[in-house]
Structure 1
Amino acid sequence: MYRKLFRQFTTVSIVICVSIIFCFIGINIVLAQENSSNSFSEYLDSVMDLVRENYWDDTSDRQLVEGALKGIFNGLDDYSVFYTPDEAGEVFSDIQGEYFGIGVVISKVGEYVIITKVLTPSPAAAAGIITGDRIVAVDGQNINGIPLHKISALIKGDAETKVVLNIMRNGQQGIMKIEAVRGPVKVNPISYEIINEIGYIKIDVFNSNTDEFLRPVMEDMENKQIKKIILDLRDNPGGEVDEVVAVGKYFVPKGLITRLDFKSEETEDKEYYSDQEKVKYKLIVLVNGMSASASEILAGAIQDTGAGVLVGTKTYGKSRVQNIIPLLSPEAFEKYKRRLKVEVIDGFELISRYNVMPSEEEIIGWVKLTTGEYYTPDGRAIDGIGLTPDIVVEDLVPLNGISVYSVSPLAQKTKPSLDTEGFDVFNAEQILQMLNYDIEGPDMKFDEKTFRAVSTFQKDKGLYSYGVLDFTTQNALNRELERLILETDKQYAKALELLEN
């Protein structure tokens, strides 16, 4: 993974990092290896000696250096962080939108572990795993009582290795064993649909796959001559600048999208432009208080250029830019100091200036460091301020503790009845609870209380009241879910209103 990142990061990214990293950590790495006349270095040396001599448990110099690095970077601002190699692995998976596994999303529902999403394409989809499958065991290990993150770790693994899931499936008797071969899984951050000639596009995050997965969506919009689009950036925490700029080129008219201003005088500020000759869509952008960073770059560019209307609540307000930098270990620092006759701490600098690829063992960790700030096309700096929507509409409010977007429509493939269990039962229970029917907490179990709630719902809708989730009842519940979405998600409803007029 690390070598892939070394290859992917550009020379520009490396240059951005070099001078800043020396400003903040050069002294501390040196002091771990040699004496310094600098009083600050001597002070920190003495602190480390104090720990070595007095701390009850054993500790290594590496642990002390890692602790010092965490203190330095984590104390700078809310966004600068030092990661050990193990911690960095999860961060890189999120940034790259890729990991090795089978491609499922799992959730805890009561005492059960349920597959709530199967990515496509993925090894899981190829193996026949479907949404709603309940996991009983992983590679023969019963998962009852095991925390969700540990179950996820059991399922993930090295490429080309096999994992066997024991699952129970709604409508089938007994336990099924499904074998899947782990492989690279790309996380698709895009979901979309077209309803009544209005396109709806949701972007969860701007990971490395965003433009790749958005491209066919925009082609579909073009082929179907869609001219009205709702772009949903709510709860989007941001991501990569290059990816958000690529998305911006579909929506922002010709001109500036954003400008990046860096502290280092050696680093050239960067401007990103769109070459779109004119606004192509009647566009509504949904934002809220968790729309941050890269999502604010896009929303700010759309607002400043008049390419669309922002609807929702004020955004998070993060316009600081971070770079991710690999740090050499003290041993590697000394090694390359002797070999190259220079003091190098940044792994990217070692590659770009000296054509030397450090090994994974030579990287003590990775730092995410704030190196600059971005501005909107009109020159607005929104850090700590956020973007105020053109039309302010209150955020979605859960109904009886349930968000409409946590509920999946019923599949209408089986007909659950009393004493059965399954994902459709769970979703039916959630819809019924939102509708104020007496449900004792959705739990996937079609018990007497769920039976009575289904029977009452059927009676209220003029259906045959016999407590079975037949297809007609499932269809009626799905229609209620659609109605509840429009009633509770006033931001989405406002977007539809603006586009339909």
Structure 2
Amino acid sequence: MEGIRMRRRTATFAAVGAAFVAGVAVGPMVSAWAQDGGGRAETYRLLNLFGDVFERVRAEYVEPVNDRDAIENAINGMLNGLDPHSSYMNARMFRDMQVQTRGEFGGLGIEVTQENGYVKVISPIDDTPAARAGVKPGDLITHLNGNSVQGLTLQDAVEQMRGERGTAIRITIRREGAERPIELSITRDVIRPQVVRSRLEGDIGYIRLSSFNEQTETALRRAMQQLRQQAGNNLRGIVLDLRNNPGGLLDQAVQVSDDFLDQGEIVSTRARRQEDAQRWNARSGDIAQGLPVVVLINAGSASASEIVAGALQDHRRAIVMGVKSFGKGSVQTVMPIPGNGAMRLTTARYYTPSGRSIQATGIEPDIEVLAQREDAAQTVAARRDREADLRRALRNDNGAQPQAAPPLPPLNLPAGLVERVQRMPAEGAAAFDPTKPETDHQLQQALSLLRGIAAAPANPQRRAAR
């Protein structure tokens, strides 16, 4: 999922539900042409070129061509050629996207992008057919029902993976480290992901966010309330798990960040025009009431997840632990086109409160902790699973800013606590099993750190958070 917001075009685009971030009206598409007569003439010449090619295809292609398919393919090519996240959605795809952001959709349950013509898995969604079948972040889907995905647009591939509940699809996966392709048969289901899960780990509250849809912030507040009821006065800290969370709605990322902050900037966006820049600030109120927080991230934490991690890190409201995040620091505006679906266009970069753009760089954890020992030997390979390695990814513009972002203040943790964190599992440790929290090395290190903070006499982290 993208860091999405909705925009409506003045007198043209239809209004869409208020669950999306409020849009800013923009002028007609030809406004840029009017500023430059020479540019306008060149644009008309190129449009004539497109018309000539279109007519030649219609007249002479070996088989009859459907006009709508040809035009939609051309639009897809134009948008896909901009960056990995701009795209065209026909009416059906647009309806599916609206359903998905409401928290229910049909299919396999994977968040994907495109790389070198293949469909690349950003993250499987918890408790979905794909997750249960063993699909992993970074997997490359090369075939669907035996047919190569080469030549398909991302939208075409996604549409093939969707379908009626109970129907099966065979996918072929190429996985880093696997000697041969992996064949999986997955039965489609209605995907109603439980976006927030929580439980007590002794005296520490554990909250996992799997995506950012319209239900996320409300479910987070409910989970926090339940943890307090279960723990009484014994709650000592919170682990906010954003690993493999591919993102979602921008307004939900802002609200989740706001839940843990009392004041200050959460995130800002800068667009092509200065007047379109936006900034979101926190309001008073911290649902964790000053308890120390650890945010877990990994290479599958993208977009809205990075907004939350970056905001809490910059304000030193949380300690970020794990490995570097995906690095998607761009915002997509969904522009409905009445009767013809919508276009998803990258319109801005977002920046953390300290002014950092994380586009193509990601959020660096305060404390690096690997999930498994093999990650140390595969660091270079692992970095191929991030935004910077996607074709046509936007550059990071931190170097173009008039003033570099100031360095983050120190963590101010009790002496020796960080040194006691184990960077990787002990040799011979049990393999990770998602049903057994004790095998989750990153989680166990987060719990240990929080208990160490709670046990420290002065507890500076907790005092500062208040």
Please indicate the TM-score interval, normalised by the length of the shorter structure. 0.5 to 0.7
The one-letter amino acid of 1:490's match is H
The one-letter amino acid of 2:265's match is L
- 1:215 and 1:25, CA in 2 relative to 1: closer, same or farther beyond 3 A? farther
Counterpart of 2:280 (choices 260, 271, 280) is 271
Query: Residue 336 of structure 2 corresponds to which residue in structure 1?
Result: 326
Query: Residue 316 of structure 1 corresponds to which residue in structure 2?
Result: 326
- 1:393 and 1:259, CA in 2 relative to 1: closer, same or farther beyond 3 A? same
Counterpart of 1:209 (choices 196, 205, 215) is 215
Counterpart of 1:251 (choices 260, 264, 289) is 260
User: In terms of Rg, which structure is larger?
Assistant: 1
Higher relative contact order (CA 8 A, sep 6+): 2
Q: How does 1:226-237 map to 2 (within 5 A)?
A: 226-237=235-246
SS of the equivalent of 1:274 reads: coil
* Cα deviation, residue 19, structure 1: 4.4
Query: Residue 385 of structure 2 corresponds to which residue in structure 1?
Result: none
Q: How does 1:68-87 map to 2 (within 5 A)?
A: 68-87=74-93
* Cα deviation, residue 22, structure 1: 5.6
The one-letter amino acid of 1:374's match is Y
Count of residue pairs brought into register by the alignment: 317
2:356 corresponds to 1:380: yes
User: Are 1:303 and 1:310, in contact at CA under 8 Å, matched by a contact in 2?
Assistant: yes
Query: Residue 283 of structure 1 corresponds to which residue in structure 2?
Result: 293
Query: Residue 304 of structure 1 corresponds to which residue in structure 2?
Result: 314
Deviation readout 1:271-304 (Å, 9 max, x if unpaired): 2323236962211111111111111110001111
Q: How does 1:396-435 map to 2 (within 5 A)?
A: 396=372
* Cα deviation, residue 214, structure 1: 1.5
Q: How does 1:72-471 map to 2 (within 5 A)?
A: 72-99=78-105, 153-155=163-165, 187-223=193-229, 224-225=232-233, 226-276=235-285, 280-327=290-337, 347=338, 362-363=339-340, 365-396=341-372
Give the root-mean-square deviation of aligned CA atoms.
4.1
Identity among equivalent positions (%) equals: 29
Give the Cα separation in 2 of the matches to 1:11 and 1:312: 30
User: Are 2:263 and 2:281, in contact at CA under 8 Å, matched by a contact in 1?
Assistant: no
* Cα deviation, residue 200, structure 1: 0.4
User: Are 1:297 and 1:376, in contact at CA under 8 Å, matched by a contact in 2?
Assistant: yes
Give the Cα separation in 2 of the matches to 1:152 and 1:262: 33
* Cα deviation, residue 486, structure 1: 3.1
The one-letter amino acid of 1:494's match is Q
Counterpart of 1:494 (choices 445, 451, 456) is 445
* Cα deviation, residue 51, structure 1: 0.5
Counterpart of 1:55 (choices 23, 44, 61) is 61
2:15 corresponds to 1:15: no
Give the Cα separation in 1 of the matches to 2:254 and 2:352: 12
Q: Unaligned 5+ residue runs, structure 2?
A: 1-5, 7-13, 35-40, 111-125, 133-144, 148-158, 168-189, 376-428, 453-466
Give the Cα separation in 2 of the matches to 1:67 and 1:51: 13
* Cα deviation, residue 14, structure 1: 4.0
* Cα deviation, residue 267, structure 1: 2.9
User: Are 1:19 and 1:264, in contact at CA under 8 Å, matched by a contact in 2?
Assistant: no
- 1:9 and 1:72, CA in 2 relative to 1: closer, same or farther beyond 3 A? farther
Give the Cα separation in 2 of the matches to 1:231 and 1:21: 42
Give the Cα separation in 2 of the matches to 1:380 and 1:37: 36
User: Are 1:186 and 1:209, in contact at CA under 8 Å, matched by a contact in 2?
Assistant: no
Give the Cα separation in 2 of the matches to 1:246 and 1:384: 24
SS of the equivalent of 2:302 reads: coil
Larger mean Cα displacement after TM superposition, 55-64 or 198-207: 55-64
The one-letter amino acid of 2:325's match is T
- 1:42 and 1:150, CA in 2 relative to 1: closer, same or farther beyond 3 A? closer
SS of the equivalent of 2:219 reads: helix
User: Are 1:261 and 1:269, in contact at CA under 8 Å, matched by a contact in 2?
Assistant: yes
Q: Unaligned 5+ residue runs, structure 1?
A: 27-34, 107-115, 120-131, 133-144, 158-183, 328-346, 348-361, 400-433, 437-479
Deviation readout 1:70-120 (Å, 9 max, x if unpaired): 01111111111112223334333332212489xx989xxxxxxxxx9599x
Give the Cα separation in 2 of the matches to 1:309 and 1:318: 20
- More helix per residue: 1
SS of the equivalent of 2:290 reads: coil
SS of the equivalent of 1:77 reads: coil
SS of the equivalent of 1:153 reads: coil
* Cα deviation, residue 230, structure 1: 0.6
Q: TM-score, normalised by structure 2?
A: 0.59
